[in-house]
Amino acid sequence: MPLSLLALAAASFCIGTTEFVIMGLLPEVAQDLGVSIPAAGHLVSGYALGVVVGAPIVAIATNGLPRKATLIALTCVFIFGNVLCAIAPSYWLLMGARVVTAFCHGAYFGIGAVVAAGLVARNRRAQAVALMFGGLTLANILGVPAGTALGQQWGWRATFWAVALIGVAAALALVLLVPANIANPKASIMREFRVLGKSQVLLAMGMSVLASASLFCVFTYIAPLLREVSGLEPHHVTWVLLLFGVGITIGNFLGGRLADWRLMSSLVGIFTGLIALLVALHFAAPIWQAAVAVIFVWGIVDFAVTAPLQLRVVDTASEAPNLASSLNQAAFNLGNAGGAWIGGTALTLGAGYGSLPLVSAVLAAGGLGLCLLSQNLDRRAIGAPAPLT
């Protein structure tokens, strides 16, 4: 794997830390800004919606521009957004700063995935995409637990200052390691949008939405779930987040290998495993040892879906992959927002934290249904007679 993939992974580490660390700090943010925990959870939704809105806008605005310069510019926007988060004096200003930060997210991962897949041989594309997303998963091993501990000790604002500084280092890595001669021919915007109308592209993005929603319905509220249902102390939550980060890192690279082997069959197995694990988490949550074990395996299975779905979108939109790849990141984050909102709504309506895994299992079942439908369409296309000429 080329060193340039490590530079892509470094920036994705910073972006992933910003995205996920807020979940470990929800109680501290809520107390400091005088809002409820479900209201603080909407900061996750706000970030995700920023990705949804920003991904197509930035992808269109950067159409045909040099990819290296675009990736560096997006990282600089990310740094600026984290500085705004660190100095935000109120809940709504923090929400606005999160949205600014989110604008670089979808386009960065969308363009980065296309770049990563183009840097290696065809039979290693999913593994290259997984390596780039490895920064995102590493954020959950190092960035999120360290950021959570830092925020609990020195205040949540210190976490965002630290992430901004790491972002500067990531930008320098992109400058030094990513080749400047990456081809990016300017494609017709209408052609890009026509590709988005393909049924297989839409099905893949629908799977991304539901896979992400099933994760964030629970993970947004993982800290209060572990505290109130499993009975863990706040400092123990940090170690559970670390273990979850190890799980999703394993799952990310496992998903890359599975996708290079049998992409759609692997997706069916992953969604099936998610449903089983979420049901298991519902019953295991009151017993902290069982809950921690299930959360670790859940992390492995959940993030095994990321690289396969991203590659599925790039393959099904091969005529114009840039916008589709960026919009798939928007799809993931639409799921983030939807999952956090669904979880918060369930809590507001009186459901307990321990019931959220069952809600997530229903969302994962929807993803499995779309996956089976997409697989069936593939089989029909293979078996269809050649058109008459």
Taking only the tens place, the pLDDT of each residue in 67-105 is 888 888 888 988 998 999 888 888 899 888 888 888 888
The domain spans of the chain are 4-383
CA atoms within 13 Å, Cβ hemisphere of 239: 10
- Is a pLDDT exceeding 70 seen at residue 34? yes
29 to 21, 219, 360: CA distances (angstroms): 11, 17, 25
SS3 assignment, position 35: coil
Residue 330: the pLDDT is 79
Q: Tell me what the mean pLDDT of segment 204-228 comes to.
A: 90
Class of domain 4-383: mainly alpha
Q: What's the pLDDT tens digit per position in 193-206?
A: 676 778 888 898 99
Residue 386: the pLDDT is 40
Residue 127: the pLDDT is 79
Residue 318: the pLDDT is 67
Find out whether 5 and 126 touch, Cβ atoms under 8 Å. no
**Which token pair is 345?**
């709504």
First-to-final CA distance of the chain: 44
Find out whether 138 and 9 touch, Cβ atoms under 8 Å. yes
Question: Which is it for the CA torsion 380, 192, 259, 118, positive or negative?
Answer: positive
Q: What's the pLDDT tens digit per position in 287-335?
A: 989 999 999 999 999 988 888 888 888 778 766 666 777 788 778 878 8
| DSSP-assigned letter for residue 187 | P
Q: Tell me what the mean pLDDT of segment 337-345 comes to.
A: 87
Report the candidate in 29, 386, 277, 11 with the shortest Cα–Cα distance to residue 167: 11
What's the CA gap between 209 and 220, in Å, rounded?
Answer: 16
115 to 112, 174, 182, 249, 272: CA distances (angstroms): 5, 13, 8, 21, 31
The per-residue pLDDT of the chain, averaged, comes to: 83
Cα–Cα–Cα angle for 52, 67, 135, rounded to 5 degrees? 65
Residue 275: the pLDDT is 95
In 156-262, which ranges are continuous DSSP H helix? 156-177, 189-196, 199-219, 222-228, 234-261
Over its C-alpha atoms, the chain yields an Rg (Å, rounded) of 20
Q: How confident is the model at residue 388 (pLDDT cuts 50, 70, 90)?
A: very low
